[in-house]
Structure 1
Amino acid sequence: MAPQASSAFPAPSRRTVVAAVGAVGIAAALTACGSEDSSSSSSTAPSKGDAAAGGTVLAKTSDIPEGGGKIFKDHGVVVTQPSAGTFKAFSSTCTHQGCTVSGVADGVITCPCHHSAFSVTDGSVKKGPATKALPDKQITVSGDSIKLA
């Protein structure tokens, strides 16, 4: 039989450990929700993604190829240009099982997971297994800027 290690301190009870973990969690939550940091509210200039600035600038119109598009993963949107000067935006989340679409070319938005294909014109399903169109997203085009509304 192996000898047991002796300890100068008795092991804490389960109840003590659970109470300590709960207290740490509450303290962390209170700290996170505590007083407002003055540096976070000192900026007066609208940021690139600020609603006061008219939406988040995604791209320049020249960045979106005609008949294709560009995926903006950070914003969950795909912007397309089905015909010269016409810009559309759709959710970049495939309606089949929630994968992020991965490509836009030749009039089609493609999903890498199960190879669903959607129209760059209206987001409709061109090839399953998806059965629902990609939802529209609101964008505005002003000059050569495309903004997510």
Structure 2
Amino acid sequence: MTSHHDDLEVAMPRDTVHRRRLLMAAGAVAAGSALNACVVPAQQEPAAPAAPPAAPEEAGSSPEQPSGEGNSADGGQVPEATPPLAQLSEVPTGGGLILKKQKVVITRDSSGTAQAFSAICTHQGCAVTSVSGGTINCACHGSKFDASTGQPVAGPAKSPLPPVAVEQRGDAIYPA
């Protein structure tokens, strides 16, 4: 009876160790799945709410546009497939307007013509922070870009801001 009992003692710890490893592995998988479920929606949720605030801003700045195209019986959303980025009147002459959500900076020269550039600095990828004195400015490392050409004029950036094609229709500026 003693030898049988000794065999059970030896066998039980092995089974217990295997069970413990199995339970620990299952717990790790469950924890990883739970963590993944928490992380994935966190990346997707900010992207979804980012779009609705942009739509009200654009809709708020262009209520006349949808009413002018209100002849659509499809709910008016088909003509608004490409809403304006901004109204020309929102972009100061000699200055600019940074559209953070679209990552675009729109500038307006002294003749009133609008140009647009990427709002992402070519030095380290920071978002530009202001337009003043004829330059588009990045506060991260002090890069400055010519507001009419996007060419770097100061700071560590060596490459110009990439142009963004836009077209002016009346007072509205649309993506081209």
TM-score strictly above 0.5: yes
Q: CA RMSD in A?
A: 2.7
Instruction: Pick from 156, 162, 165 the counterpart of residue 135 of structure 1.
Output: 162
Q: How many equivalent pairs are there? A: 121
Counterparts of 1:95 and 1:45, CA distance in 2: 41
- For 2:81 and 2:108, the matched residues in 1 are separated by 21
Q: Looking at secondary structure, tell me which structure has more helix per residue.
A: 2
Distance 1:23 1:125 in 2: 46
Q: Which residue of 2 aligns with 1:75?
A: 102
C-alpha offsets along residues 91-148 of structure 1, whole Å, 9 cap, x if unaligned?
Answer: 0000001111111012110000111100111100011210000001121211111123
1:15 matched residue in structure 2: 25
* Structure whose residues are more often strand by fraction: 1
Counterpart of 2:75 (choices 39, 45, 48) is: 45
Q: What is aligned with 1:38?
A: none
Structure 1, unaligned runs of 5 or more: 1-9, 30-43
Q: Distance in 2 between matches of 1:116 and 1:23?
A: 43
Query: What TM-score results when the alignment is normalised by the length of structure 1?
Result: 0.70
The residue that corresponds to 1:94 in the other structure is 121
Q: Secondary structure at the match of 1:74?
A: coil
Structure 2 residues not aligned, in runs of 5+: 1-18, 41-73
Greater relative contact order structure (CA < 8 Å, 6+ sep): 1
Aligned residues: percent identity? 37
Rg larger in 1 or in 2? 2
User: Which TM-score applies when normalising by structure 2?
Assistant: 0.60
